[in-house]
């Protein structure tokens, strides 16, 4: 059912000024507080079969944020057709104009930042400070790419033939399918869609199932910024439903690009589908990110970095610390300091408690998956130093704040005596857990850092400059921190991994433009005759050479 055939900008100013504040408030009675919709060609639509699902606050499960469409295959196809219809007009829009609209988005995000932050925290349980960082990353992305609209440069190339000009231009790919996880529901989709539309593409965005309200909110802001209808279309639903329908549409020729952030197995499936259709895909996948600590390091600084990397966002970042690799000389001292912090971790709902390190798991599904994969450590025989699984009223750490029965909270976990032959050394465990490995020296530590099948992020704490150099040149990862944690990204720095962490594409900065455009080479013949490169050029060289020789005589 279509609810707003005149386009979603009608009445939008009132929604932005009053509605977002209502969205960010709690709803303790359990009924949906917001009715959300798909947004297709600027229209608010329900699922074609009327199917819906609810979004609930993982810190307070009785708090239902809203009810959203469980999109059907037809809904996704409608969105793709809308994007396809909008593509010619948007691609023909001058790039500086596209950049100006993107700049408008950034300014609207700044204006409504506080409300957006509260919605993100309420919907996925991140702390208010972390949500603010995610939203700021979206703002930074808009402001960066606003100016890139005036720098979507091609090149003028000298021809080897006379009276001919050669040029290169960046051209958009077409319709882009956007699929992202819910742990960074503001930053990551903007990493994808902002450069995509800046290059002249149109998008169909499958929102994360656990963050549909925030996605709905952000899409409405994009339209209020002046984005034409059909340029960005939003569909809600499960990954196995709407997400799969979007990927399947590659086989139907309806999608020219897929950009996906999520698990490596799903990423491989998407890569296979795109590969057989010669369609470009950007895959930002999992990680088992190593952090190495050497004897020359400032141990207090290293402890802070490892602690944050392991347990910030309840360990639910693709860049979260996986294997903590400690040189045997500093192992005991480091672990004493590290465990002291782990045991004092403050956990709770940051909307009701101050100074918590992390809140609940992103959703009940993420909690269940974490408990299941955590069992790998136990089966491998790793030594558990801390952690008791799910936090309950009868099983909670001393610094847990609130009523554990209200949400989906986890203990922080630390497993020691992990070795390279253990499954838990190699597999990503998405949640608050760190596996600790002992290294006999730098070469051994670097070997261990490279030994997992992933290659997303990495870090090394050392004050030996040669060790720092050898680490950053020897590590097989897309990103490396020296005396910094494995986490953190900036809007103007490339983000992405190698090996099992991605297919070499990058998010953010000028490098991402390569993922959403292709090079178009043009030769402009001005001579009025056919000139053949590599063939006629030899004759020209011979004539020139003969002329030069005669002059010398």
Mean pLDDT for back-to-back runs of 10 residues, the chain (553 residues): 50 43 65 89 98 97 96 98 98 98 98 97 97 97 95 93 96 98 97 98 98 98 98 98 98 98 97 98 97 98 98 97 98 98 98 96 96 96 98 97 97 98 98 98 98 98 98 98 93 95 96 97 95 78 58 55
How far is it, in rounded angstroms, from Cα 508 to Cα 496?
Answer: 9
Rounded to whole angstroms, the Cα distance separating 70 from 51 reads 5
Measured CA distances, 49 to 45, 73, 233, 333 (Å): 11, 10, 19, 61
Using alpha carbons only, give the angle 473, 479, 485 rounded to the nearest 5 degrees: 105
**DSSP conformation class of 512:** G
Q: Is beta strand 413-416 parallel, antiparallel or unpaired with respect to 433-439?
A: parallel
Query: Which among 318, 377, 424, 460 is annotated as catalytic?
Result: 318
Give the SS3 label for residue 119: helix
What's phi and psi for 522, nearest 5 deg? -125, 130
d(CA 150, CA 138): 20
Residue 335's Cβ-side half-sphere holds a number of Cα atoms within 13 Å equal to 20
Residue 323: its pLDDT value, please? 98
Name the DSSP letter for residue 484: S
Task: Return the CATH architecture of domain 12-284.
Answer: 3-Layer(aba) Sandwich (3.40)
- Residue 342's CB is within 10 A of a number of other CB atoms, namely 25
Instruction: List the structure tokens of 201.
Output: 């593409």
- Alpha helices (H) in 451-522, listed in sequence order: 465-474
142 is catalytic: no
Contact at 8 Å (CB) between 79 and 424?
A: no
Distances from the Cα of 508 to the Cα of 189, 196, 200, 259, 379, angstroms:
11, 11, 17, 13, 39
Q: Which fold has domain 289-491?
A: Aldehyde Dehydrogenase; Chain A, domain 2 (3.40.309)
Helix, strand or coil for residue 458? coil
Residues contacting 548, CB < 8 A, separation 6+: none
Task: Reduce the DSSP state of residue 328 to 3 states and report it.
Answer: coil
Rounded CA separation 225/143 (Å) = 13
Domain limits of the chain? 12-284, 289-491
Q: Are 508 and 145 in contact (CB under 8 A)?
A: no
Quickly tell me which residue has 């009715």 as its tokens: 35
Rounded to two decimals, what is the model's pTM?
A: 0.93
**All residues at 6 or more sequence positions from 49 whose CB lies less than 8 Å from its CB, including other chains:** 72
Q: In this structure, are residues 255 and 270 in contact, taking their beta carbons and an 8 Å threshold?
A: no
Angle between helices 187-198 and 95-111 (to 10 degrees): 160
Whether the CA torsion 283, 287, 293, 297 is positive or negative: it is: positive
Instruction: Give, for 393, the enclosing helix (H) or strand (E).
Output: none
User: Taken in order 124, 130, 286, 301, is the CA torsion positive or negative?
Assistant: negative
Give the span between the Cα atoms of 167 and 106, in whole angstroms. Answer: 33
The number of beta carbons lying within 10 Å of the beta carbon of residue 252 is 10
Identify whether the C-beta of residue 262 lies closer than 8 Å to the C-beta of residue 243. Answer: no
Other beta carbons within 10 angstroms of residue 85's beta carbon come to 14
Under 8 Å CB-to-CB from 333, ≥6 apart: which residues?
A: 299
Note the helical H segments in 169-243: 187-198, 212-224
pLDDT (0 to 100) of residue 302: 98
The three-point CA angle 293-297-298 to 5° equals 120
């Amino acid at each position: 059912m279509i609810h707003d055939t005149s386009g979603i900008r009608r009445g939008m100013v009132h929604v932005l000024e009053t509605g977002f504040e209502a969205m960010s408030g709690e709803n303790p009675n359990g009924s949906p507080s917001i009715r959300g919709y798909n947004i297709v060609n600027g229209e608010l639509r329900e699922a074609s079969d009327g199917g819906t699902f609810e979004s609930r606050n993982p810190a307070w499960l009785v708090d239902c944020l809203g009810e959203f469409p469980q999109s059907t295959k037809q809904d996704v196809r409608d969105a793709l057709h809308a994007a396809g219809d909008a593509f010619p007009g948007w691609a023909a829009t001058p790039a500086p104009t596209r950049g100006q609209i993107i700049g408008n988005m950034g300014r609207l995000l700044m204006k409504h930042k506080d409300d957006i932050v509260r919605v993100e925290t309420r919907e996925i349980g991140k702390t208010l400070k972390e949500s603010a960082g995610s939203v700021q990353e979206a703002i930074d992305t808009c402001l960066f790419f606003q100016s890139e609209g005036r720098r979507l440069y091609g090149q003028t190339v000298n021809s080897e033939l006379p009276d001919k000009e050669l040029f290169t231009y960046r051209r958009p790919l077409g319709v882009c399918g956007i699929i992202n996880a819910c742990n960074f529901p503001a930053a990551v989709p903007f990493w994808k869609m902002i450069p995509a539309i800046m290059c002249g593409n149109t998008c169909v965005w499958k929102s994360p199932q656990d963050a549909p309200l925030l996605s709905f909110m952000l899409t409405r802001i994009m339209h209020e910024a002046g984005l034409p209808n059909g340029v960005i279309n939003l569909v809600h639903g499960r990954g196995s439903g709407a997400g799969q329908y979007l990927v399947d549409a590659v086989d139907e020729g309806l999608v020219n690009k897929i950009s996906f952030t999520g698990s490596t197995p799903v990423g491989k499936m998407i890569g296979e589908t795109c590969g057989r259709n010669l369609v470009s895909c950007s895959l930002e996948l999992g990680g088992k990110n190593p952090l190495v600590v050497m004897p020359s390091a400032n141990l207090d600084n290293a402890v802070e970095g490892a602690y944050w990397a392991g347990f910030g966002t309840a360990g639910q970042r693709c860049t979260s610390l996986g294997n903590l690799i400690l040189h045997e000389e500093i192992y005991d001292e480091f672990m004493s300091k590290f465990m002291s912090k782990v045991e004092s971790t403050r956990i709770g709902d940051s909307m009701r408690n101050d100074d918590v390190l992390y809140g609940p798991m992103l959703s009940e599904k993420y909690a269940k998956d974490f408990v299941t994969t955590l069992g790998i450590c136990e089966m491998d025989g790793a030594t558990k130093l801390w952690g008791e699984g799910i936090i309950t009223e009868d099983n909670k750490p001393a610094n847990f704040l609130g009523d554990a029965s209200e949400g989906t909270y986890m203990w922080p976990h630390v497993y020691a005596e992990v070795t390279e032959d253990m499954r838990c050394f190699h597999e990503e465990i998405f949640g608050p857990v760190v596996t600790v490995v002992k290294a006999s020296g730098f070469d051994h530590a670097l070997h261990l850092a490279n030994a997992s099948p992933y290659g997303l992020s990495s870090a090394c704490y050392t004050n030996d400059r040669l060790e720092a150099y050898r680490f950053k040149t020897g590590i097989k990862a897309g990103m490396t921190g020296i005396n910094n944690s494995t986490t953190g990204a900036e809007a103007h720095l490339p983000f992405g991994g190698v090996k099992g962490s991605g297919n070499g594409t990058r998010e953010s900065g000028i490098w991402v433009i390569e993922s959403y455009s292709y090079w178009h080479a043009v030769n402009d013949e001005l001579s009025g005759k056919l000139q053949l490169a590599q063939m006629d050029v030899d004759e020209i060289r011979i004539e020139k050479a003969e002329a030069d020789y005669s002059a010398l005589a």
